[in-house]
């Protein structure tokens, strides 16, 4: 334990670690959360450029939540019709301040997805602007149809189709409705991007764990200590994993704290189908957010193990840094050029996949049984990363003996 604390303090004393953690917190918590809520994303709009938004996000969010609350808290045909009528009235008045309060992205998308026959191709306005509200009926029946059509287009038939439809049957209807845009940003943007952001700063912090010993020329000295290379390697790996957990913990506290202050807890029990209608997972917003943070946490652990293996293979910290970054960014760069099965396989690498898979219908077929992809996306990456740990110890040991 003493050796672990010595290694951990040494890791935190590195300028690269201190700077990378500070930049990570500034980027994720200050810019990605606080300023995003107060200005970039939720500040009331004065034009098409988000930097022209007013610095009034807190008040704007409360106004949006209050506006959404007037539609009853349950999404029925009547509630949708009333939202459309109000949207059209605001559009006719050209009242930008009132428009800022509406779910101006989600509600129009529901109308265009579910009622395509009401679209007038010659009218270039959004369909919601001219559609007759009385014709917006059968919301849940139409949602079921577009889900089944999507599965057919995606060639998800037979047992896979039945597996997904059975998941969908557990989704409670009618849907709870509150203001959705805040949760949309959290689950559709912030959490999926969090892993990508942490990749860079984790790599900077952990690449020197083993490779830095060659740069500092302290490797041979470890062979003369009373602990030796094996105990030192274990301490280094444990300190690296602890650092990864600590960075994640700082971001978690900052991100969730900002969310609670600006967004509160309103709408936590809405189903994720309010963000993507054809999602089949019977999850609400809070469950989805917990899944997202678990995904990132386990991905961080897995990625830390992978980076330390690469560090043990490289004599240069710079080389370890490049290898670590390429382990995530290279699969992302080539993924779109690969067959779909290969894309799904690459998603199983630490921090390559996305927690946004909860909105998708991706599956894996294992021994003839279909498994929803998010189940594997939180299990496989951490197992791969922890599986790298003993190889990192052995690789470093061979190099120390030379």
For 144-178, the pLDDT digits (tens) are 999 999 999 999 999 999 999 999 999 999 999 99
Same-domain pairing of 221 and 151: no
If asked whether residues 198 and 337 sit together in one domain, one would say: yes
> Which pLDDT value is given to residue 319?
94
SS3 74: strand
What string of H, E and C letters represents the secondary structure of 365-390?
A: EECCEEEEHHHHHHHHHHHHHHHHHH
Last residue of a domain, one of 126, 147, 177: 177
Average of per-residue pLDDT across 320-348: 95
Domain boundary among 115, 150, 177: 177
pLDDT in the model for residue 360: 97
Lowest mean pLDDT among 136-145, 174-183, 203-212, 223-232: 223-232
Count the domains in the chain. 2
Quick check: 218 pLDDT over 90? Answer: no
- Confidence at residue 399, expressed as pLDDT on a 0 to 100 scale: 63
Among 124, 145, 177, residue at a domain's last position: 177
Q: Can you read off the two tokens belonging to residue 234?
A: 């274990």
Domain assignment present for 57? no
Q: Are residues 200 and 311 in the same domain?
A: yes
Kindly state whether residues 113 and 212 are assigned to the same domain.
Answer: no
Confidence band (pLDDT; 50, 70, 90) for 295?
very high
User: What is the enclosing helix (H) or strand (E) of 342?
Assistant: helix 340-346
State pLDDT tens for residues 340-383: 999 999 999 999 999 999 999 999 999 999 999 999 999 999 99
Residue 225 has what pLDDT? 53
Assess whether pLDDT exceeds 90 at residue 277.
yes
Residues 265 and 124 occupy one common structural domain:
no
The answer to whether position 65 is within a domain reads no
Same-domain pairing of 24 and 156: no
Residue-wise pLDDT tens digits, 386-396: 999 999 988 87
For the chain, give the percent of residues with pLDDT over 90. Answer: 83
What are the distances in angstroms from CA 161 to CA 71, 158, 184, 352, 372?
Answer: 34, 5, 27, 26, 12
- Overall average pLDDT of the 173-188 stretch: 96
Residue 52 confidence (pLDDT)? 75
Same domain, 297 and 386: yes
* Residue 101 covered by a domain: yes
- Distance separating alpha carbons of residues 12 and 9, to the nearest angstrom: 5
Please give the C-alpha separations between residue 380 and each of 101, 243, 290, 292, 348, in angstroms, as whole numbers. Answer: 41, 21, 18, 15, 6
- Residue 119 and residue 105 share a domain: yes
Q: Is residue 51 part of a domain?
A: no
228-262 vs 208-216: helix crossing angle, rounded to 10:
130
| 205 & 305 share domain | yes
Contact criterion met (CB below 8 Å) for 91 and 104:
no
Look at residues 150, 153, 251, 234 and name the one whose alpha carbon lies nearest to residue 196. 251
Q: For the residues 9-30, what does the mean pLDDT come to?
A: 95
State the residue range of the domain holding 352. Answer: 2-38+181-400
Is the same domain home to 193 and 243?
A: yes
**CA–CA dist 33, 39 (Å, integer):** 10
Q: In this structure, are 107 and 240 located in the same domain?
A: no
Which of these, 59, 63, 58, 81, lies nearest to 71 by C-alpha position?
A: 81
Confidence at residue 214, expressed as pLDDT on a 0 to 100 scale? 61
Q: Assess whether 92 and 232 both reside in one domain.
A: no
Considering the chain, what is the average pLDDT of its residues? 92
* Averaged pLDDT, 267-288: 97
Position 227 scores a pLDDT of 53
Position 63 scores a pLDDT of 96
Q: Is residue 52 part of a domain?
A: no
The pLDDT of residue 212: 75
The pLDDT of residue 29 is 95
The pLDDT of residue 234:
87
In a domain, 296, yes or no: yes
Asked if residue 120 is part of any domain, the answer here is yes
Residue 97 is predicted with a pLDDT of 86
The answer as to whether 45 is a domain residue is no
């Amino acid at each position: 334990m003493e050796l672990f604390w010595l290694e951990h303090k040494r890791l935190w004393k590195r300028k690269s670690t201190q700077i990378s953690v500070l930049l990570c917190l500034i980027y994720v918590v200050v810019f990605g959360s606080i300023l995003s809520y107060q200005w970039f994303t939720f500040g009331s709009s004065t034009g098409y450029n988000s930097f022209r938004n007013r610095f009034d996000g807190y008040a704007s969010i409360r106004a949006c939540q209050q506006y959404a609350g007037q539609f009853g808290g349950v999404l029925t045909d009547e509630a949708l019709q009333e939202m459309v009528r109000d949207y059209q009235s605001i559009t006719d008045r050209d009242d930008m301040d009132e428009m800022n309060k509406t779910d101006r992205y989600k509600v129009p998308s529901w109308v265009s997805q579910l009622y395509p026959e009401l679209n007038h191709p010659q009218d270039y306005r959004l369909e919601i602007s001219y559609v007759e509200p009385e014709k917006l009926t059968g919301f849940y029946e139409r949602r079921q149809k577009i889900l089944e059509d999507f599965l057919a287009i995606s060639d998800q038939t037979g047992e896979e189709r039945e597996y997904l439809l059975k998941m969908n049957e557990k989704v409670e209807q009618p849907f709870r409705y509150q203001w959705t845009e805040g949760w949309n940003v959290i689950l559709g943007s912030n959490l999926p991007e969090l892993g990508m952001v942490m990749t860079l700063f984790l790599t900077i912090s952990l690449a020197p764990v083993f490779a830095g010993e060659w740069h500092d020329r302290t490797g041979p000295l470890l062979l003369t200590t009373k602990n030796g290379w094996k105990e030192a390697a274990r301490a280094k790996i444990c300190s690296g994993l602890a650092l990864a957990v600590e960075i994640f913990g700082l971001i978690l506290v900052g991100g969730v704290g900002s969310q609670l202050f600006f967004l509160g807890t309103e709408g936590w029990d809405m189903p994720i189908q309010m963000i993507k209608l054809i999602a089949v997972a019977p999850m609400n917003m809070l469950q989805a957010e917990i899944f997202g943070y678990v995904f990132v946490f386990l991905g961080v652990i897995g990625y830390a193990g992978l980076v330390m293996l690469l560090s043990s293979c490289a004599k240069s910290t710079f080389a370890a840094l490049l290898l670590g970054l390429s382990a995530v960014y290279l699969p992302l760069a080539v993924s779109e050029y690969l067959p779909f099965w290969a894309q799904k396989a690459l998603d199983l690498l630490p921090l390559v996949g996305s927690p946004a898979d909860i909105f998708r219908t991706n599956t894996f077929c294992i021994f003839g049984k279909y498994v929803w992809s998010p189940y594997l996306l939180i299990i496989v990456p951490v197992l791969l990363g922890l599986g790298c740990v003993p190889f990192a110890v052995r690789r470093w040991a061979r190099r120390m003996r030379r």
